[in-house]
Amino acid sequence: MTTRPMTAEELLYLSLPDKRTELVRGRLIVREPAGSRHGAVANLLAYRLTAHVETARAGRVYAAETGFTIARDPDTVRAPDVAFVAAARLPATEPAGFFDGAPDLAVEVLSADDRPAEVLRKVADWLTAGALLVWVVDTERSTARVYRADGSETLLDRDAALSGEDVLPGFTCPLRELSFAG
């Protein structure tokens, strides 16, 4: 028996308490809640991004688990740990459902149960859907990897800083200031 793909609209009304969910090509992905280090780093990045975005009036920052519909038929709804959408791309009225399209910047903070292949698929989904910049922050290794729409990528060590580049000019966050292990 073949199961029909789930839609973004069905995901929006699905209730799975204490679980993180995404929809990938019509297939429901269910994960356990992230750990405390993950939450602390995601929150700190969201806080710093929000402060910069509000000062610059650059757009809007979305908190963890905000869904972005990045493909249709079958539907894909991804939820980054932090996201930024430039002011020019914001809808006149904030939708009650998922944001339609990719954020300009998607931030993924690795969790202990993240598998490298799945993280790379998620990065590819973001970039294919139109994200301009994706940061993958590894709290265990005290590093981050930056992926860009032009296909380039950079590995940052603890002494480097995340940069908003031309997506969010003027934003920087030194990796050493995040709550890494050790």
90-103 tens-digit pLDDT = 999 999 999 999 99
Report the mean per-residue pLDDT for the chain. Answer: 93
Question: Which of 83, 132, 77 shows the shortest CA–CA distance to 108?
Answer: 83
Task: Report pTM.
Answer: 0.94
Give the DSSP letter of residue 71. Answer: E
Number of domains in the chain: 1
Q: What does the pLDDT look like over 50-82, one tens digit per residue? A: 999 999 999 999 998 899 999 999 999 999 999
CA pair distance 127, 146, nearest whole angstrom: 12
Q: In which band, very low, low, confident or very high, does the pLDDT at 18 lie, cut at 50, 70 and 90?
A: confident
Domain enclosing residue 134, as ranges: 8-177
Q: In which band, very low, low, confident or very high, does the pLDDT at 120 lie, cut at 50, 70 and 90?
A: very high
Is there a domain that residue 98 lies in? yes
Q: What does the pLDDT look like over 35-46, one tens digit per residue? A: 888 999 999 999
CATH value at residue 162: 3.90.1570.10
Main-chain phi, psi angles of 124, to 5 degrees: -60, -40
Joined tokens for residue 7:
């839609």
